[in-house]
Amino acid sequence: MSLPSEVAIGATLRDQEYGWSLKTFPAAIAAAERVELACLGGQIQFRFENSIAEAYWLSADSSKRSPKECWSDYVHRSCREVASKFTDLAASLDVEQ
């Protein structure tokens, strides 16, 4: 499945996985919320020409959808959770942004 074009803006696709820079990710989350896509979250990756190094311990994930949670509520909550955790995580990194 491909992402809607407004969500994919600024993304790179490698090994069937989308990735955004620290600067473009907040806009992608906002776009996902606008088109009613939930966000499970993800990890910080360092992408090199021929490889990807994933810092799996640096993640910004949403909590699971509860059985009684309607889709729209889940979309907004999951996007807010990931955006908030991402902002905190990005602020704590000592990397060039």
Q: What's the CA gap between 64 and 15, in Å, rounded?
A: 25
pTM: 0.86
pLDDT in tens, the chain (97 residues): 689 999 999 999 888 889 998 899 999 999 999 999 999 999 988 888 888 888 888 999 999 999 999 999 999 999 999 999 999 998 888 766 5
Instruction: Confirm whether 55 is domain-assigned.
Output: yes
With residues binned 3-state (H G I as helix, E B as strand, rest as coil), the percentages for the chain, rounded to 5, are 35, 25, 40
Instruction: Confirm whether 83 is domain-assigned.
Output: yes
Instruction: Confirm whether 22 is domain-assigned.
Output: yes
Instruction: Confirm whether 75 is domain-assigned.
Output: yes
Could you tell me which of 31, 20, 43, 24 has the C-alpha nearest to residue 89?
Answer: 43
pLDDT at 55: 86
Domain range spanning residue 16? Answer: 5-87
